[in-house]
Amino acid sequence: MLLTLIGCVNYGLSLGYGLTFLLGGVWVMSATQALRAARGVALTLHPPPSATAGGEVAVQVTVSGGGDGALGLSLRGGQQRAAGTWALVGEAGPLTLALPTPRRGPLTVSAAAQVYDRLGLWRVPLPAPAPLTLLVHPAPEVGAPPAPARTLPGAGEGGGRTKGDEEFAGLRPYAPGDSPRQVSWRHVARTGALLTRETDAAQGRARLLDWADTAGPPEARLSRLSAWVAELGRQGVPFALQLPGAQLPAGQGEAHALAAGRTLALHAPLPAEEPAKAAPTPGAPSPAALRGTLLALALTLAPTALRAPVWLSAVVAALLLHAAWRTRPAAPRPPLPTWVLGLLAVGGGAALNAVYGTLLGRDAGTAFLALLLALKVAESRTRRDGQLLVLLGLFTTSTHYFFSQGPLTAAHTVLSAALLLAAVPAWRVPGAGRGRLGLDRAALGRATTLLGLAAPLALALFVLFPRPEAPLWQLPVQGQAVSGLSSEIRAGEFSNLAQSDAVAFRADFDGAPPPQQALYWRGPVYEAYDGQTWRQVRGGRISPSVEPTGPAQRYTLTLEPSGTPWLLALDVPTRVPDGAFLSTAFQAVTFRPVTARRRLDLESRPARLGRQEDAERLNFNLFLPQAQSPRAAALGRSWQGLAPGARVQAGLKYLREGGFTYTLSPPTLPAQDRIDAFLFSARTGFCEHYASAFAFLMRAAGLSARVVGGYQGGELNPQGDYLIVRQRDAHAWTEVWLPAQGWVRVDPTAAIAPARVQAGLQTALTRPDATTPLAPSALSRLRLRLDALQNRWNELVVDYDGERQAGLLARAGLGGVGQPAYLLLLPVVVALTLLPALALLRRRAAPADPAARLLHDLTGRAGLPRAPGETAAAYVARLSALAPEQAPALQAVLRAYHAARYAPGDPAGPLAELRAAVRRVRRLGQGRR
């Protein structure tokens, strides 16, 4: 989030702010959910009935309290570990974890627990429950021989007796471990005291299990003795146990068997504890988790395929398909070897550097990021890798705003973020990712809900978060700029642009826009000519004169990214925005290229341009290359005897009456004598052909002339009352300097196809002499409606920068960023945006049943929660003991609750009575103050 926020600040990505703040809202909401899920969770470890060495012990964990989330639990016993995760919804009930027990003896089991939110984004550690000490018994030998037949020596009938089950020997107080069958329940019923019957048998029947009867290592001997103890216990035969340094007298029953097991388990010396074997690294992550993440990443990377080189898209697709192939349950496959991934990374980086000339910038950087993300998919092995894939996917999503910030891009990025967030639970939360594609509806629903809850916070921060005007650092964002106009012009430049329907800029006028024939949007001015190419002239010159002749026209331009510094203003700009200036060729130029959409306010007025012009410049604009187009030069010189204005008319007359045509597909002209080939042979061309040829003729006729590039006309969108100027409206015309008039615009294309100026390009290509445009089709009207929506989106969202934020804050009376009113309002607005989320969380925490929900409300009013499993009657009795003065009101609540919950008939009346009774209860302590 911090990284994407820095990128948005530096590159002015308005939608990037929105996505960053939306993910920030998810970050906050999921943290709140995790904290609520962890609130009140209590864990208790319970000892298992028995534990034997070499196996596993099932440790039962009782969980109480908690909310909607997931519980992660890990057990540690010596060097052994066991871990598991379970869904946690209120009372989770008993859980069981199997912990390996490789050796006999005492074992202390400790636990560590944490609670996750349902998306697995946050982890809340819980207090550790009290540790548990177990006694691990030796594992009984499998296939052990029968126990020895040796018995303890006895004195015959009536002689020595020992514990047994033959005859009644008396009563004694009950001791823990006594069998319930030995309890004298008759005495219990009569006296209330627990007494245990004792029985005995002739001492000669008790078997002796002696260490000397076993052989081998100590652990093998103990294992055989354990098997004999189990065998005699099943047969009900009394036995005694004799070990080196320990003896157990003869006896039988469960207590005696447990004593024998304890003696065997604690026999010294205890075996040394071996370190736990490292768990093998899995060859592939969870197939379901990886499958869902792959689906989300494929959608995230889809726009990259539309702009990256074909070979890169093929490599990325192959890596994703290989990862999908690894998720097959029938035959899982390991990840690609490291050397293959390294070779692909180095080779792909070198190839991208060869294509773009760098690995920095917008195009090369995003393409390289897509390659690295696909390589990370191919080498993913663990849960941590899966979570990194999600984070990298979210970062990649934000890079799409470098190329477009339209509504479709916004919808795509939000959908990608939802799928990526929905893919997280499969890596952490149990039961997630069970859908066919690795994404279940529950996870996708939770992700969508979180995004919806985060939307108010994102909107508030989008409007109020400070927007710096200057970037933090300079780094090329654009790759190859698609501007439409370049710093030089040659045959074919504008005819190629005329086939593009892309928007160059939009213009919104204060009042009615000028007529179509007056819409000349001035761009670069070309004055240097070498026979083939017209170029701009660099260097300082004396500023020419500007004499306004008409009223001012104010308008707002919304420029699309072009990578050029031209602002495309109407002739002639009299007010330019900050950071721009008016060149000596009357061209509005900004100090920084337009690399992002910019919204600018300008003012223009009709004027006489350059009546007082630099003589050096006028001489430069008379230059013609030697030995180039001699026939055209001779034609121009033939007009030198005419007055300056008449020379211009002679040139236009020659074009009108010379059989010239207007076309988008002119023939290729030779490099040598290009103007001659056009004027006397081809006689067909586009605007740059006519402007170049006319400027050549005027220079030959002795008049200073130059070519001006820009746009002409525009399409009025009635849906928004603004002009749309597209790349197809790119145009070139000529300026001729006339004494006492200055620079005069002359459009030779209008002499060939008047419709180009009066009706637009599309009409001029089919009806060159038309004066009105063609009627718009239904498809055109639909496109205009969509463009109006796009323009509105740009105004409200994409073009919301520091200047517009300052204006909004000023109109709201907040002064500006950093002012006291702003600093007071910001935390208040942020807090208000969190209310819907808190209300939803509280609603989810309340029970679904109306009566139970009202009883839940009582816990809030009383300020004391119910204990897990506590009945309504027990809870009311506890409250009454704490606040005796409220006992009648609490009893009324209990009666109404029972009636609403269990009484037959319509519960509406009892529910109303219960609601009123709950409202009469005050917080504990209020009645005693």
Active site members: 687, 731, 747
Q: Which amino acid is at 251?
A: G
425: left (phi over 0), alpha (psi -120 to 50) or beta: alpha
Peptide bond into 515 cis (omega under 30): no
Write phi, then psi, for 720 (nearest 5 degrees). Answer: -135, 5
Distance CA 853, CA 831 (A): 26
CA distances from 528 to 487, 536, 628, 677 (A): 11, 6, 15, 21
Query: 17 by DSSP, 3-state: which?
Result: helix
Q: Is the dihedral of CA 260, 262, 267, 271 positive or negative?
A: positive
Residue 227: which H helix or E strand, with range? helix 218-235
String of DSSP letters for 552-610: -EEEEEEEPP-SS-B--EESSEEE--TTEEE-TTS-EEESS---S-EEEEEEE--EEE-
The DSSP line for 371-431 is HHHHHHHHH--SHHHHHHHHHHHHHHHHHGGGT--SHHHHHHHHHHHHHHHHHSHHHHSTT
DSSP state of 797: I
Alpha-carbon distance of 759 to 742, in angstroms, equals 28
Give the three-state DSSP class for 68: coil
Strand order in the sheet with 488-489: 488-489, 534-535, 528-529
Q: Which two tokens stand for residue 505?
A: 């800029």
Helix intervals (H) in 39-79:
none
Residues forming a β-bridge with 71: 86, 115
DSSP H or E segment with residue 756: helix 755-758
* One-letter-per-residue 3-state SS of 131-148: CEEEEEECCCCCCCCCCC
Contacts 24+ apart (CB under 8 A), 830-835: 830/457, 830/460, 830/461, 832/456, 832/460, 833/456, 833/457, 833/459, 833/460, 834/28, 834/456, 834/457
Rounded to an integer, what distance in angstroms lies between the CA atom of residue 710 and that of residue 486?
A: 10
Distance (Å, rounded) from C-alpha 510 to C-alpha 494? 30
DSSP 8-state code for residue 321: H
Inter-residue contact 903 to 875 (CB < 8 Å): no
What is the spatial distance between Cα 35 and Cα 126, in angstroms, rounded to a whole number? 11
Task: Choose among 414, 477, 362, 450: nearest CA to 836.
Answer: 450
Please state, in angstroms and rounded to a whole number, the distance separating the CA atoms of residues 497 and 511: 30
Distances (CA, A) of 594 to 405, 579, 580, 880: 16, 12, 11, 74
Question: CA angle, 477 as apex, 474 and 482 as ends, to 5°?
Answer: 135
CA dist 383 and 286 (Å) reads: 8
* Token pair of 192 as six digits: 């209330």
Tally of CB atoms within 10 A around 184: 17
